[in-house]
Amino acid sequence: MDSLIPKMNAEAGFEVAESDVVPLRISGYLCLILGGLSVLGLMGRLLIAFSFAAILIGVYSLRKYSGPAPLGLKPARLGICLAVGFGACTFFTPWFKTLVLSRQAEKFALIYLDVIAMDETEFAMELNKDYVNRMDPTMSLEEHYQGQPQARENFEQFKYGGVNEMIRERGPGAEWIFDMPTRLYTRYRNQHAELVIADPTGSSDTKISMTLDYLVDSEGQGQWHVSNVQSYRSERFVAPNVL
List per-residue pLDDT tens for the chain, 243 residues long.
444 444 444 444 444 445 567 888 999 999 999 999 999 988 888 888 999 999 999 999 999 888 888 888 999 999 999 999 999 998 888 888 889 999 999 999 999 999 998 988 888 888 888 888 887 777 787 777 777 778 888 888 888 877 888 888 888 878 888 988 999 988 888 889 999 998 877 555 678 899 999 988 878 888 899 998 888 876 554 444 443
The predicted pLDDT at position 190 comes to 85
The predicted pLDDT at position 78 comes to 95
The predicted pLDDT at position 204 comes to 52
Diameter over CA atoms, the chain: 107
- Report the mean per-residue pLDDT for the chain: 82
The predicted pLDDT at position 200 comes to 75
For the chain, the domains span 2-94, 99-231
Q: What is the DSSP letter of 151?
A: H
The predicted pLDDT at position 193 comes to 93
The predicted pLDDT at position 20 comes to 64
The predicted pLDDT at position 66 comes to 84
Q: What are phi and psi of 35, to 5 degrees?
A: -65, -40
**25: burial class by Cβ within 10 Å (0-12, 13-18, 19+)?**
buried
Buried b / exposed e along 189-222 (16+ C-beta atoms within 10 A): eebbbbbbbbbeeeeeeebbbbbbbbeeeeeeee
Q: 3-class SS at 197?
A: strand
Q: Give 56's contacts (C-beta < 8 A, 6+ positions apart).
A: none
Q: Give 123's contacts (C-beta < 8 A, 6+ positions apart).
A: 115, 141
Tell me the one-letter amino acid at 44: G
Find out whether 222 and 130 touch, Cβ atoms under 8 Å.
Answer: no
Taking Cα atoms as reference points, which of 24, 35, 18 lies closest to residue 65? 24
Tell whether pTM > 0.75: no
Report d(CA 69, CA 21) in Å as an integer: 10
pLDDT tens per residue across span 61-84: 999 888 888 888 999 999 999 999
Determine how many CB atoms are found less than 10 A away from the CB of residue 76.
26
Taking Cα atoms as reference points, which of 45, 26, 28, 42 lies closest to residue 79? 28
